[in-house]
Structure 1
Amino acid sequence: MNGRVVAGRYELSTLIGQGGMGRVWQGYDRTLDRRVAVKLLRPDTMAAASQADELRRRFLRECRVTAQVDHPGLVTVHDAGSDGAELFLVMQHVQGADLADHLAEHQPYPWQWAASVAAQLCAVLSAVHAVPIIHRDLKPRNIMIRPDGTIAVLDLGIASVVDTDTTRLTHTGVPLGSPAYMAPEQAMGGAVGPYTDLYALGVLVHELLTGGVPFAGSTALGVLHRHLYEPPRPVRELRPEIPGELEDLVLKLLAKDPQDRPGAAQEVYEQLAPLLPVPGSGHPLGPLDPTRPFLRPHAPWPDRPGVPDAHRPAAPAPPPAAAPADTPDIAGAVDEVKRLLGAARLTQAIDILAGILPTAVRTHGAQSSVVRILRKQYAATLMDDGQYRRALPVLRLLAEERLAEAGDPGDAQAVQHRYEAALCLEQLGEAPEALAEYRSLLPHLARDPARSYEIRQRVAQLLIALGDPAGAQAELGSLLHEVQSLYGPHHPVAEGVRRTLANLASFGRR
Structure 2
Amino acid sequence: MDADTYKPGAGDLIDGCYELTDSLGKGGMAHVWRAREVPGGREVAVKFLSHDSEALNCLAPHERAAELTVRKARFRREAGLLGALDHPGITELYGSGSHQGVPYIAMRLVTGMSLRTFLDEHNPLPLAAAIAVAVQAAEALACAHTLPVVHRDLKPANIMIDDGGTVVLIDFGIAKPLRADATRHTAHGSTLGTRGYLAPEQLLELEPTARTDIYCFGCIFYELLTGKPPFPLGAESGLTDKHLHEAPLPPSVYAAGLPEVIDDLLMRMLAKKPERRPAVDEVLEVLAPFRPGPGDPEPRPRTRPDPTAPLRRPPDSALHPRPAPAVPPAASAPGEEEWLDTRAVEQLCTQAESEITSGEPGDAAGRLRGLTARVRKEWGERRPLVRRVWQGAADGLRLAGDFGSAARLYQGIDDDLIHGEGPAERAERAVIRLRLAECRLVFGELETVITAVDTAGHTAAGLPPELAAWVETVRRGVDAQLTARLAAPGRMEA
Compute the TM-score of the two structures, normalised by the length of structure 1.
Answer: 0.58
Counterpart residue number, 2:193: 177
Counterpart residue number, 1:153: 169
Counterpart residue number, 2:308: 291
Counterpart residue number, 1:76: 92
3-state SS, counterpart of residue 24 of structure 2: strand
Whether contact under 8 Å (1:166, 1:190) holds in the other structure is: no
Give the superposition deviation at 1:388.
8.0
3-state SS, counterpart of residue 141 of structure 1: helix
Counterpart residue number, 1:239: 255
Whether contact under 8 Å (2:188, 2:491) holds in the other structure is: no
Counterpart residue number, 1:108: 124
Quickly say closer, same or farther: Cα 1:256–1:210, change in 2 above 3 A.
same
Letter in 2 for 1:16: L
**Aligned with 1:168 (options 160, 166, 189):** 189
Letter in 1 for 2:34: Q
Give the superposition deviation at 1:58.
4.8
Counterpart residue number, 1:22: 30
Q: How does 1:32-43 map to 2 (within 5 A)?
A: 32-42=40-50
Whether contact under 8 Å (1:74, 1:124) holds in the other structure is: yes
Percent identity between matched residues is 34
1:5 and 2:13 are equivalent in the alignment: yes
Give the superposition deviation at 1:266.
1.1
Whether contact under 8 Å (1:96, 1:147) holds in the other structure is: yes
Quickly say closer, same or farther: Cα 1:461–1:103, change in 2 above 3 A.
same
Quickly say closer, same or farther: Cα 1:220–1:425, change in 2 above 3 A.
farther
1:273 and 2:288 are equivalent in the alignment: yes
Quickly say closer, same or farther: Cα 1:95–1:274, change in 2 above 3 A.
same
Give the superposition deviation at 1:113.
1.1
Give the superposition deviation at 1:273.
0.9
Quickly say closer, same or farther: Cα 1:229–1:51, change in 2 above 3 A.
same
Letter in 1 for 2:41: D
Give the superposition deviation at 1:182.
0.7
1:17-54 C-alpha deviation (Å, 9 max, x unpaired): 23233121112222332111111113686775246446
Quickly say closer, same or farther: Cα 1:425–1:106, change in 2 above 3 A.
closer
1:89-130 C-alpha deviation (Å, 9 max, x unpaired): 111111211111111111111122111111111111111111
**Aligned with 1:430 (options 418, 426, 445):** 445
Quickly say closer, same or farther: Cα 1:180–1:389, change in 2 above 3 A.
same
Residues in 1 aligned to 2:257 and 2:85: alpha-carbon distance in whole angstroms: 38
Letter in 2 for 1:168: G
Residues in 2 aligned to 1:156 and 1:165: alpha-carbon distance in whole angstroms: 16
Whether contact under 8 Å (1:166, 1:189) holds in the other structure is: no
- Stretches of structure 1 that go unaligned for 5 or more consecutive residues are 170-174, 301-319, 324-353, 359-385, 393-421, 445-451, 463-495, 497-510
1:196 and 2:212 are equivalent in the alignment: yes
Q: How does 1:82-481 map to 2 (within 5 A)?
A: 82-156=98-172, 158-160=174-176, 164-165=185-186, 167-169=188-190, 175-217=191-233, 222-262=238-278, 264-283=279-298, 285-298=302-315, 389=403, 427-432=442-447, 456=487, 458=489, 460-461=490-491
Give the superposition deviation at 1:202.
0.4
Give the superposition deviation at 1:67.
0.9
3-state SS, counterpart of residue 257 of structure 2: coil
Whether contact under 8 Å (1:132, 1:387) holds in the other structure is: no
Whether contact under 8 Å (2:34, 2:109) holds in the other structure is: yes
3-state SS, counterpart of residue 247 of structure 2: coil
Give the superposition deviation at 1:205.
0.8
Letter in 2 for 1:189: E
Residues in 2 aligned to 1:204 and 1:210: alpha-carbon distance in whole angstroms: 10
1:105-161 C-alpha deviation (Å, 9 max, x unpaired): 111111221111111111111111110111111111111112222111111354449
Residues in 2 aligned to 1:59 and 1:438: alpha-carbon distance in whole angstroms: 35
Residues in 2 aligned to 1:221 and 1:79: alpha-carbon distance in whole angstroms: 43
1:215-271 C-alpha deviation (Å, 9 max, x unpaired): 235577742222101111211212213222222211111110111110x21110010
Counterpart residue number, 1:466: none
1:196-217 C-alpha deviation (Å, 9 max, x unpaired): 1111110001111222211235
Quickly say closer, same or farther: Cα 1:132–1:160, change in 2 above 3 A.
closer
Quickly say closer, same or farther: Cα 1:440–1:244, change in 2 above 3 A.
closer
Quickly say closer, same or farther: Cα 1:72–1:94, change in 2 above 3 A.
same
Compute the TM-score of the two structures, normalised by the length of structure 2.
Answer: 0.60
Size of the aligned set, in residue pairs, is: 345
Structure with more helix by fraction: 1
Whether contact under 8 Å (2:74, 2:173) holds in the other structure is: no
Letter in 2 for 1:122: A
Whether contact under 8 Å (1:73, 1:124) holds in the other structure is: yes
Query: RMSD in angstroms over aligned alpha carbons?
Result: 4.2
Letter in 1 for 2:282: E
Whether contact under 8 Å (2:149, 2:176) holds in the other structure is: no
Residues in 2 aligned to 1:51 and 1:20: alpha-carbon distance in whole angstroms: 12
Quickly say closer, same or farther: Cα 1:424–1:144, change in 2 above 3 A.
same
Whether contact under 8 Å (1:99, 1:141) holds in the other structure is: yes
Residues in 2 aligned to 1:272 and 1:158: alpha-carbon distance in whole angstroms: 28
Residues in 1 aligned to 2:102 and 2:238: alpha-carbon distance in whole angstroms: 34
Residues in 1 aligned to 2:243 and 2:85: alpha-carbon distance in whole angstroms: 31
3-state SS, counterpart of residue 118 of structure 2: helix
